[in-house]
Structure 1
Amino acid sequence: MTDLISLVVPFYNEAEAIPYFCATLLPALEAIAGTDWEIICVDDGSTDTTLLQLVALSQADPRFRVIEFSRNFGKEAALTAGIDAARGAAVIPIDADLQDPPELIAQMLAAWRAGAEVVLARRTDRASDGMLKRKTAAWFYRLHNHMSHTKIPENVGDFRLMDRVVVNALKQLPERQRFMKGLFAWVGFRTVTIDYARPPRAAGATKFSGFALWNFALEGFTSFSTAPLKIWTYLGALTALGTVLYALYIVIYTVVFGNKVPGYASLFVAITFFGSVQLISIGLLGEYIGRIYVETKQRPSYLIRKTHGRFDGT
């Protein structure tokens, strides 16, 4: 018997990378015996020729299946759509830029067939990333794992193998705003880790700006921890305490040395104190109410314009 394995590949303006991706991926897959493949390509509203190339691939090779979004919904939505559509006994998300080496898939399958339900690919060398990105990534993992009960493995991206039981568990999670690294970690299951050195991109450029990465990190913090609420509470309390201490200082100074500007002390204390209280309230409520607002609208994470290739047995 052969296992059907699903690869999930998000694409957003990756026209330059597609030829290199196929030329590297397909030989690596064909070298693995006893396995059938489906390659689910999710076009996340690309504006170049990415979709045309993917449709051509699905017409030439029945292993390729293409999901075309109605617009750009983001990588997390693309991963969700691919996982929802996957039919394999195991699912492997992989990036199209070849920084996730397809040669590692054989080792993942070996660990899976030995009993692992999740096989993580951990990057031991991030020399292809800039110094700032490496440092900020390290800070994110450490801070997140200190703040959250759900620990995200450091230097592990979306590239991993998940057994069908793990995929079914993920499909039960109803969040609209999805932080996939956190969801992958939250479901748990028996996990094995494989180390590899991360190569540079084969073609194209990253689609994540510094601001996008910051928002992504904020999504991770607020999705799996209420610690930011507590932090702002403590920060606001410290600010209020500092205001009280400074008020005492002003009172003592005024009694001892006098004050040339009548009313200044009381106005300053009142403004700074109530300003601190307002910051506490905003910090407590803002980000989390925003998340509640988005979730209560219950809009889908993505909309599919069209599918290409063999879906539902067609």
Structure 2
Amino acid sequence: MKKDVFVSVIIPVFNAAPYITAYIEALAQIVENQFKDYEIILVDNACVDETLTVITTLQQTVQNILYFRLSRSGELDIAITAGLDNCIGDFIITLNPLCDPPELIPEMVTLGQQGYEIVYGIDTTQTQQRSLFNWLYRKFHRIFQNMTGSSLPENFSTYRLMSRQVLNQNEDRHRLLKVIPALGGFKHITLNYIPLNPTDRTPVFTALFKGLDIIFSSSIKPLRLVTFTALTMGILNLWYALYIVLIAVFKENIAEGWITLSLQSSGMFFLLSLILAILSEYIFRMMENMYKRPLYQITEEKVSNVLTHRQRLNVVSSEKND
């Protein structure tokens, strides 16, 4: 018996012509057999191959495919955000067609119906590897939890389920896409899986800057830490000034103090640089919000010949209104 629930499956694609047909056909068969209402949203991240032609052909035979093409290629999170902004399902599933098996979708939805607002897909092959990247990844999770007070499972991937309530709780989706579910404190569960193909590692420096971007966007504690550090150093400098006065009063033949002065100057310049660096991140966020530049622009939109869910949606056409 099909589940009476509306499921949106969001799939970002880039130069996917060689493999997307088989993947979508397998996925469509799964969701068609399991759910009364569903939509498959394909977000074209400005492909330069024959992906559009392949998807247009698919839409002739596969129901409920919605296609959106972005004007320029961007991060994977921005492509997923475009899909999130255009989906209407009760449960939303995001996945990567290169590595995420669609067979887990029914189990994810079942967990969602049991009361879990988020189902994280955990790539088990990553947990078995030991590397500098994994070590930094674990450190990021610990820092994130300390900064935000939110619980975030390790080694989670883009493969996940979110309820409509989770999706609606934050507008800054592209920057916080990976951690939005955790920030809301919603009930969650993990689901282990083995990817279809090995996933490519994000370069360490790219991941590092992404991690900093997430922390600065999700917490004000770094700024509070800077404030505490500045106050602490101010108090220490007062004590140091008192120490200099006492030395001047009670000691004769005082050396010029070149080493002490140099250490003090270098330490203060380091702290000032750190403060300016963190403040610049927050100023950057403020300026970015002021400009309101769109994250993406959709240049083309196509739908399948048949959208079965439209017949059951609470939509009144303009002809009936007239």
Report the TM-score, using the length of structure 1 for normalisation.
0.78
Amino acid at match of 2:24: C
Report what 2:9 is aligned to.
7
* 1:296 corresponds to which of 266, 286, 290: 290
In structure 2, distance between residues paired with 1:26 and 1:177: 27
RMSD over aligned CA atoms reads 3.7
Report what 1:186 is aligned to.
183
Name the % identity. 26
**Residue 236 of structure 1: how far off its partner (Å):** 6.3
**Residue 180 of structure 1: how far off its partner (Å):** 0.6
> What SS class does the counterpart of residue 6 from structure 2 fall into?
strand
**Residue 53 of structure 1: how far off its partner (Å):** 3.0
Comparing 51-60 and 34-43, the one that deviates more: 51-60
> What SS class does the counterpart of residue 37 from structure 1 fall into?
strand
**Residue 9 of structure 1: how far off its partner (Å):** 0.9
In structure 2, distance between residues paired with 1:239 and 1:46: 53
> What SS class does the counterpart of residue 181 from structure 1 fall into?
coil
**Residue 14 of structure 1: how far off its partner (Å):** 3.7
Query: Superposition pairs for residues 1-314 of structure 1, below 5 Å?
Result: 2-19=4-21, 21-22=23-24, 24-30=26-32, 32-98=33-99, 100-126=100-126, 131-167=131-167, 169-170=168-169, 173-175=170-172, 178-189=175-186, 191-199=187-195, 201=197, 206=200, 208-232=202-226, 264=258, 268=262, 271-272=265-266, 274-310=268-304
Give ranges in structure 2 of 5+ residues lacking alignment.
312-322
In structure 1, distance between residues paired with 2:225 and 2:135: 23
> What SS class does the counterpart of residue 88 from structure 1 fall into?
coil
Cα gap change, 1:46/1:206 in structure 2, threshold over 3 Å: closer, same or farther? farther
Comparing 152-161 and 39-48, the one that deviates more: 152-161
Report the TM-score, using the length of structure 2 for normalisation.
0.76
**Residue 6 of structure 1: how far off its partner (Å):** 0.8
**Residue 176 of structure 1: how far off its partner (Å):** 7.3
CA contact (8 A) 1:40 1:82 kept: yes
Cα gap change, 1:50/1:210 in structure 2, threshold over 3 Å: closer, same or farther? farther
Amino acid at match of 1:196: N
Q: Deviations over 1:203-230 (max 9, x none)?
A: xx73843332122111111111223234
In structure 1, distance between residues paired with 2:132 and 2:56: 37
Q: Deviations over 1:56-79 (max 9, x none)?
A: 333442322111111123222212
In structure 2, distance between residues paired with 1:102 and 1:140: 29
In structure 2, distance between residues paired with 1:59 and 1:139: 48
Cα gap change, 1:36/1:207 in structure 2, threshold over 3 Å: closer, same or farther? farther
Cα gap change, 1:137/1:48 in structure 2, threshold over 3 Å: closer, same or farther? farther
Comparing 85-94 and 157-166, the one that deviates more: 157-166
CA contact (8 A) 1:59 1:309 kept: no
> What SS class does the counterpart of residue 276 from structure 2 fall into?
helix
CA contact (8 A) 1:239 1:276 kept: no
Report what 2:314 is aligned to.
none
Give ranges in structure 1 of 5+ residues lacking alignment.
none
Comparing 35-44 and 8-17, the one that deviates more: 8-17
Cα gap change, 1:268/1:116 in structure 2, threshold over 3 Å: closer, same or farther? closer
CA contact (8 A) 2:6 2:35 kept: no
In structure 2, distance between residues paired with 1:132 and 1:265: 38
Cα gap change, 1:188/1:59 in structure 2, threshold over 3 Å: closer, same or farther? farther
**Residue 288 of structure 1: how far off its partner (Å):** 1.1
